[in-house]
Chains A and B, each alone.
Chain A
C-alpha cells in the first residue's frame, strides 16, 4: 500500500539490549515525526525531521535515543541500553507540511 509502514510491529527485548525501529514514510513527504505512546496517554513527541535533518529533537528523553533519516525517506529510531520504562508503542508519521500527518500502525516495544 501507499501508507506509512513501520517495522517490526512487535518487538520484545531484554533490559540493556539495543533496538532499532524502522519507518518507511509516504513517498514525497518531507516531514517525518516519531512519537511514543503509553497506554491511556496521548502520543508523546520525540523527534521531527524535515528532509534529512532533525528539525526538532527536543522530545528525545535522553541520549540513549537517537534517530536518523539519511536519505530523506526511511527513518530509523535507535534505542540503546533499553530500560523497562521504554516499553510503549512507537508511532511514526509523515506529512507534506500541511498539518495533516499520516500515521503508521506503530511498533510495540516491550522491554523485559
Chain B
C-alpha cells in the first residue's frame, strides 16, 4: 500500500482558505485518495475521496494532479470549529485503510 506524507501541523486564521498537501509517490492504479477529519475524543470522520482531477463537496475540495503522486485538500473560509487533525489515506477496495500521523490544523481567531 502506498505510504502518505503530510505536514505535521498548520496554523490558519478564521476566514482563510487552508490547503493541506499530501504526497503518495507509490500510489497504484486502483488506489483512491481519501481524507478524514478527527476532533478530540471522537472517531475520524470521512471528508472526501477522489481518484483524479478535482472533487468538491459541501465541506471541501480535493485536487489531484495528473500523476496522482500528491493531493491537496482545500478547506474554504475556515472557522474555529475546523480545528482538528486531518488524515490523508490511500484506499484500495479489499485492503485495510492505514492512517498516518495526520496534520494538526489550528484555526485562530
Q: Which residues of A contact B (CB under 8 A)?
A: 4, 33, 35, 41-45, 48, 50, 55-56, 58-59, 91, 93, 97-106
Docked-complex contact A35 and B94, CB < 8 angstroms: no
Tell me, in angstroms, the Cα distance from A100 to B43 when the chains sit together.
13
Name the B residues within 8 Å of A35 (CB-CB): 99
Partner of A56, one of B36, B49, B95, B99: B95
Q: Which residue of A lies closest to B87 (CB)?
A: A42
Docked-complex contact A41 and B101, CB < 8 angstroms: yes
Partner of A103, one of B34, B45, B49, B100: B45
Q: Looking at chain B's contact residues, is the secondary structure mostly helix, strand, loop, or mixed?
A: loop
* 18 chain-A/chain-B pairs, Cβ below 8 angstroms: A4-B43, A35-B99, A42-B87, A43-B44, A45-B97, A48-B96, A50-B94, A56-B96, A91-B44, A97-B94, A99-B32, A99-B46, A99-B97, A101-B36, A101-B44, A103-B44, A105-B41, A105-B42
Tell me, in angstroms, the Cα distance from A35 to B36 when the chains sit together.
15
Tell me, in angstroms, the Cα distance from A105 to B45 when the chains sit together.
11
Distance from B9 Cβ to chain A, minimum over Cβ atoms (Å):
11
